[in-house]
Chains A and B, each alone.
Chain A
Amino acid sequence: MIQAVVKRVKSIPEAFEKASGHSGPLYYLAGGTDLVCKAKDRLLPPALWLDISGIEELTGIKDEGDSIHIGSLVTHTALSEHPLIKKYAPALSDAASQVGSPQIRNRGTIGGNSGNASPAGDCVTALYTLDTTIHLECPAGPRSLPLEKFFTGPGKTVCKEKEIITGFSFPKKEGARGCFLKLGQRKTLAISKVSLALSCTLEVGRLHDVKIALGAVAPTVIHAPRCEEMLAGKELNDSLIAESGTLIQTESCPIDDLRSTEGYRCKMTGVLMERALKKVALWK
């Protein structure tokens, strides 16, 4: 049985009003695909759940001129289908299209993927390659910070008590290319053992704006700075692809856990790096 009192709120002020009158554990409920699972596994204390899934202002994907804004309630299905995301953040639409199953993608949100703070979060891994800013709001007011500063460990973030993730934004880059690759036990419904997101642009055969992120290999999603630097400005060819596949294996500090071993993860980062660059080279 789920140990919670669930209250639906229609606006952020209403959420804060209900939250401030409450002492004890509190969780925001977005899609519920993580929270309900955890509650059923008895991993949560009895708590007040504020159902924010009906808050209009947390929805929608907007073109803001120089940047794209994504409301925290945007679902994986919407991310994978939206033309602005496909155009300016192909790694993100690719990642969202591979989350869980159609049913999970219809409910799971980008805010929940971040709130959950799993180092294997697929959308978070893709967001790392987009210079993403995360937007938060607590009763004292809103704040924004680079996404990388938000996560501090598995399941841990700098989110203050009662703070709501309101959305994400990233700068638009013309000619954006990118992809997201993951390895799991099987294609659907498997948490990543290792994943890689790549975003870049390609001008006259040379790579620019290269951002690479690795999921499920460290306590949080991480960048691959040596590879990013090595690839910048280089001509994309077979020898460069092979070189990147070797170099990236020096970047991560993989973990042994129930899903996989350190050695396997390390080798696979190399395989995924090479596959990702090949995909970008064959971009249509």
Chain B
Amino acid sequence: MLSEKVKVSFILNGSPVEVEVPSHHTLLEVLRERLNLTGTKEGCGKGECGACTVLMNGEPVCSCMLMITQVEGAEILTIEGLGDLENPHPIQRAFMENGAIQCGFCTPGFIMTAYALLMKNPNPDRKQIKEALSGNICRCTGYMKIEEAVMNAAREVK
């Protein structure tokens, strides 16, 4: 019973995909293990750290808590959909330039959350940035540089 498969179709980084996977898989497992999109990280696996954040229909969600069936018909954006080494997104560049990355494990999650914020509010103040990023944990940077990176990215994205 426990390995029943499901077919799920959704839009991933702008392109339609269909996967056939065990129904008890999370979106995070499907991204990393089926689709080889390993930019999205697994930290706690329980909604507490935000390392696994992706956007679902434009809103940040924890992919570690999202069952794959729930993604049917949705638009999913992962860090791979934002930019790459040759063409980084302004937020990705701002993180690099502001020293907002140390070990880098939390970075994709922070960048996705920041992207969702800037799409809704291109002129956030520091308080709004803090609030938007409050579901993402970083053990290295101490947050100041991350906030600065988002402030600077906001200027560039405009």
Residues on A lying within 8 angstroms of B by beta carbon are 1-8, 29, 32-33, 36-37, 40-41, 46, 49, 51, 53-54, 77, 100-104, 106-107, 187-189
Residues of B within 8 A of A2 (CB): 24, 26, 67
Residues of A within 8 A of B66 (CB): 32, 36, 107
B17 on the interface (CB 8 Å rule)? no
B53 on the interface (CB 8 Å rule)? yes
Given contacts A5-B2, A8-B72, A40-B45, contact A103 B23 (CB under 8 A): no
B71 vs chain A, min Cβ distance (A): 10
| A36 touching B1, Cβ below 8 Å | no
| A188 touching B61, Cβ below 8 Å | no
Q: Which of B62, B64, B67 contacts A6 (CB 8 A)?
A: B67
Q: Which of A8, A33, A46 contacts B47 (CB 8 A)?
A: A33
Residues of A within 8 A of B46 (CB): 36-37, 40-41
Q: How far is the CA of A106 from the CA of B4 in the complex (A)?
A: 28
Closest residue of chain B to A106 (Cβ to Cβ) is: B59
A261 vs chain B, min Cβ distance (A): 24
30 pairs, A vs B, C-beta closer than 8 Å = A1-B24, A2-B24, A2-B67, A4-B2, A4-B23, A6-B6, A6-B23, A8-B70, A32-B65, A33-B47, A36-B26, A36-B47, A40-B46, A41-B46, A46-B2, A49-B67, A51-B67, A53-B70, A54-B73, A100-B47, A101-B134, A101-B135, A102-B113, A103-B50, A103-B113, A104-B62, A106-B59, A107-B62, A188-B134, A189-B134
| A32 touching B67, Cβ below 8 Å | yes
Residues of A within 8 A of B80 (CB): none
Q: How far is the CA of A5 from the CA of B73 in the complex (A)?
A: 20
Residues on B lying within 8 angstroms of A by beta carbon are 1-2, 4, 6, 23-24, 26, 45-48, 50, 53, 56, 59-62, 64-70, 72-73, 113, 131-132, 134-135
A170 vs chain B, min Cβ distance (A): 26
Q: Which of A49, A77, A107 contacts B65 (CB 8 A)?
A: A107
Residues of A within 8 A of B60 (CB): 102-103, 106
Residues of B within 8 A of A3 (CB): 2, 24
Q: Which of A33, A51, A100 contacts B69 (CB 8 A)?
A: A51
Q: How far is the CA of A110 from the CA of B67 in the complex (A)?
A: 19
Greatest chain A CB density within 10 A among B6, B62, B67 is at B67
Residues of B within 8 A of A51 (CB): 67, 69-70
| A5 touching B47, Cβ below 8 Å | no
| A5 touching B23, Cβ below 8 Å | yes
A39 vs chain B, min Cβ distance (A): 8
Q: How far is the CA of A4 from the CA of B72 in the complex (A)?
A: 18
